[in-house]
Structure 1
């Protein structure tokens, strides 16, 4: 309800239905943010998976506040699964992400393939809508999938920790014409 315009329309008389004015609801940018979370064993080594989950919670909170749609694909072991969305997160907290475990191999191709299908479906529904792909990984994989063609913007969040860094996340971001951000720097 937009009270100032309603009261201005009412003036000194009684309030009637024809006086009611409503404010337009801010719906956000209409973008879709597809988060892809690496849940492989190497992400457990130094707490990288916990770091990535913390960042995801913050990004989901921001998406909820801005009313933008998100999707979450988790991959590890031998498979990838869509864990959330695409939808505007009405409420989100740690209890949703806590059960996501880690272990096994790094099926990056399966994870990116599942995200590509989410992005493709969104592109068919609304071709003008912006689609963002966010990959959270330590880059410890031998797979090198192609950039999802329906991703308008790609961000690789490098979760690699330790003194000896391989740097595959940066290389993947460059190959996909995206940007690479250091997970630890985002928390600072």
Structure 2
């Protein structure tokens, strides 16, 4: 409610519905953060999927507080699906994070194609909007998809915990001219990534 304009419209009369004036709600930064979550069997090995879901919950809480739109794409087995958004997350985000399971192969190309569709749709609606892609993976994929075309910034969050590290997350980030960050380091920042 915009009280000063409402009182000015009222001008000493009894308050009526036609006197009411409303303030525009601030909608945040206008950014879109698209999270692409690896739900393949390898993400279950040492609890990486549980860590990724905890990190997502913290990031979505931050997005909710900042009124930033997010989207979540989960990929595993043979497909990728849009699980949330694009929208500003609400308090109930654990309800749709909890049922995300893992298994099967790592269809990274399908996940990045789904992200590209979300970003392209966002670019059509608002050309000035900043679009950020976050790939949360352990890098255990043989696929090497192209960087999403409409992404202004890409971050590869590395969940690799094996004794013998393959380093595919860092290699993919380098090929995409993206940032690569270790999942534990991101978690330590308190989800201040936005």
Scaled by the length of structure 1, the TM-score of the pair is 0.89
Larger deviation, residues 162-171 vs 139-148: 162-171
**Cα distance between partner residues in 1 of 2:123 and 2:6:** 43
Q: Secondary structure at the match of 1:109?
A: helix
Q: TM-score, normalised on structure 2?
A: 0.86
Contact 1:40 1:102 in 2 (8 A): yes
Structure 1 CA distance, aligned partners of 2:110 and 2:172? Answer: 16
* Residue 78, structure 1, aligned to residue 106, structure 2: no
| Structure-2 residue corresponding to 1:125 | 125
1:90 aligns to what?
Answer: 90
In 2, Cα distance between the equivalents of 1:84 and 1:21? 33
For residues 125 and 75 of structure 1, the distance between their equivalents in structure 2, rounded to whole angstroms, comes to: 25
Gaps (5+ residues) in structure 2?
189-194
Structure 1 unaligned residues grouped into runs of 5+: none
Trace 1:9-24 onto structure 2 (pairs within 5 A): 16=15, 22-24=22-24
Show CA shifts across 1:49-100 (max 9, x none). Answer: 1111111111111111111211111000011111111112233332211111
Spell out the pairing of 1:1-188 with structure 2 (5 A cutoff).
1-2=1-2, 5=4, 16=15, 22-188=22-188
Q: 1:81 to 1:184 in 2, by over 3 A?
A: same
Report the number of matched residues: 187
Inter-CA distance 75–16: structure 2 relative to 1 (3 Å threshold): same
1:86/1:93 CA distance change after superposition, 3 Å: closer
Give the whole-Å Cα distance in 2 for the aligned partners of 1:91 and 1:187: 20
Distance in 2 separating the partners of 1:82 and 1:6 = 42
